[in-house]
Amino acid sequence: MFDEDGAFLGCRGSGRDITTQVIANKALRDSEERHRRFAADVAHELRTPLAVLRSNLDNLENRQTANSLRHDVDAMTRLVEQILAVARLEVLEVRPDDRADVHRIYTCVAEHLPPLAVKEDRSIEVTGDPGAIMLRANGDALEQAIRDLVENAIRYSDPGTTVSIDVATDGTARIKDRGKGIPRHTRDSIFQRFHRADQGGGGAGLGLAIAKRTVEAHQGSIEIDDNDGGGAVFTMRFPPDPVLSANQ
């Protein structure tokens, strides 16, 4: 408070008891943590029986039935892995000393997905800079995100086409498919959890949401553009590593 001449007289204020709000916020956080742990525990518990079930299918005499069941088991296993990834995202932290060679991650993803690509009558290639590209990154989380993006590209590419992972020297990657493309008005919604562009195409609609959240945790971004000649391009960009930049 001030007098007519502008001289300071003192302070006047009011207080409000926010104990109830604090308690409610803590209860909400505790509830979210319990649900996260529950999802992670359920996913962990399902991994072993699914692995055993898939192994037992190899001994089934009716190969047609075995192959059909194996497809369902693979889909369930993928869903379990995505549930675990969502649970880990809630506590994902990229530490200052975390480093990963993103070119190696792109290459590893391309090396592990050919069975899926062959099954869908697609192929995968990695183009661009062949050398190591070190960035501040949580390697395991980033590999999961890249895998989700590439699997999405495989799923929505046309049969007989190639999914390309084009890598630049700064770690930027462009994942290109040859499918129907993605309309501009849906390019934001496809990153929402449980959103599926093709309701009959299988999947839980978690992959792209996981990828976007993971890239953003690395202070990066994902953009969608049209691919020349048809299809879509998902571009991942990451900020330069401040430590490596200072040493160059």
**DSSP state letters, 147-215:** HHHHHHHHHHBPTT-EEEEEE-TTS-EEEE--BS---GGGTTGGGSTT--SSTTS-S-S-HHHHHHHHH
Domain ranges of the chain: 19-89, 100-247
User: What pLDDT does 225 receive?
Assistant: 93
If DSSP codes are grouped into helix, strand and coil, which group holds residue 241?
Answer: coil
Q: Express each pLDDT in 79-89 by its tens digit.
A: 777 777 766 77
Assess whether the region 19-89 and the region 100-247 belong to the same CATH fold. Answer: no
Q: Is 181 left (phi over 0), alpha (psi -120 to 50) or beta?
A: left
pLDDT at 39: 67
> What is the rounded CA–CA span in Å between residue 70 and residue 199?
21
Instruction: Tell me if the domain spanning 19-89 has CATH number 3.40.50.980.
Output: no
Which stretch of DSSP H or E encloses residue 21? Answer: helix 19-57
pLDDT in tens, 96-108: 888 999 889 999 9
Average confidence (pLDDT) over 114-142: 87
Amino acid 36 reads R
Mean pLDDT score across all residues of the chain: 82
**What per-residue confidence (pLDDT) applies to 204?**
53
Q: What is the mean pLDDT of residues 70-93?
A: 73
C-alpha closest to that of 158 among 229, 243, 76: 229
Query: How far is CA 63 from its chain centroid?
Result: 34
**Predicted TM-score (pTM) of this structure:** 0.65
100-247 has which CATH code? 3.30.565.10
CA distances from 223 to 28, 162, 176, 188 (A): 33, 20, 12, 10
Q: Could you give the angle at the alpha carbon of 35 between the alpha carbons of 30 and 37, nearest 5°?
A: 95
- Report pLDDT digits (tens) over 186-221: 888 888 766 565 544 445 567 888 888 888 888 999
Q: How confident is the model at residue 242 (pLDDT cuts 50, 70, 90)?
A: low
CA pair distance 160, 135, nearest whole angstrom? 34
